[in-house]
Amino acid sequence: MPLYKSITPNSQTTVKIWKITESYDDLFNSIILKPGNSDRVLAMKSELHQRGFLSVRHILKEFGYQDSDLYYDKNGKPHLNDGKHISITHSYTFSAVIISENVVGIDIEKQRDKITMIAHKFIDYEFEYLSFEESDYIKKLTVIWCIKESLYKLFATPGLSFKEHCLVIPFAIHDESTVAWIDYENKKYRYSLNFLEFEGFTCAYALE
């Protein structure tokens, strides 16, 4: 079944993860897209991106929503017409949506060695507790990236820097949770983060 996992971190919040196994045609023909989105999908050059976009609409359907219930603001942040908070992500063959009464953010990334080449671009403080020699170094880098991407989506503030403004407290992979801070314009914001691994992917989601 394409709905890979459903998680309820608290009574106000649900996460649904979709494994994209369907063809583009199967995904496209079994949902109704609002005006303009059909053209948007057809204009995408990558079928992987098309399937990711469409799978998100199937997750919305699992939540009881339609494509027409979703809209984006000028900063590209998604919203639902009923006022609930939503965050969306997809990577390769997985997509996920988190919906809550509170502000949230979510990200999925494939675990890849090349993340070591860009770590200096999104990590500063975290290098104090990371070791390149750790067997789970790539997994930890991927968790940190997912956490910071989740925070970025949640905070939705232009100019926020992964490296300069987002700090992830030390964690172990088996913890599956940690705390992170946004330190922005002389104010500090604390968030709870959960993360999980599956089939070579990492997913993290941020809660206020």
Question: For the chain, which domains are there?
Answer: 3-102 (3.90.470.20), 107-207 (no CATH)
Residue 69 is given by DSSP the state G
> With bands split at pLDDT 50, 70 and 90, how would you rate the model's confidence at 132?
confident
DSSP 67: G
1: confidence class by pLDDT, cuts 50, 70, 90:
low
Copy the structure tokens of residue 201.
Answer: 């992917």
* Average pLDDT of the chain, as a whole number: 96
Do 145 and 118 contact (CB within 8 A), yes or no? no
| pLDDT level of residue 35 (50, 70, 90 thresholds) | confident
β-bridge mates for residue 110, sequence order: 201
Percent of the chain with pLDDT over 90: 94
What's the whole-number mean pLDDT along residues 12-25?
A: 97
Q: Which pLDDT does position 2 carry in this prediction? A: 83
Helices (H), 20-158: 24-29, 37-43, 47-63, 115-122, 137-155
For residue 125, the SS3 value is: helix
* pLDDT tens-digit series, residues 133-166: 889 999 999 999 999 999 999 999 989 999 999 9
Alpha carbons 152 and 149: distance in angstroms, whole number: 5
pTM confidence score: 0.95
The pLDDT of residue 75: 85
Question: What average pLDDT does the segment 29-45 reach?
Answer: 92
Q: Report the pLDDT value the prediction gives residue 120, as an integer from 0 to 100.
A: 96
The residue to which tokens 């809660």 are assigned: 207
Query: What pairing do the DSSP bridges indicate for beta strands 13-19 and 3-10?
Result: antiparallel
Alpha-carbon dihedral sign for residues 163, 165, 166, 170? positive
Q: How many residues does the chain have?
A: 208
- The string of pLDDT tens digits covering residues 84-126 is 999 999 999 999 999 999 999 999 999 999 999 999 999 999 9
Q: Which residue has the higher pLDDT, 200 or 76?
A: 200
Q: What is the DSSP string of 161-172?
A: -HHHHEEE----
β pairing state of 104-110 and 70-72: unpaired
In the structure encoding, which two tokens stand for residue 61, read together? 């359907």
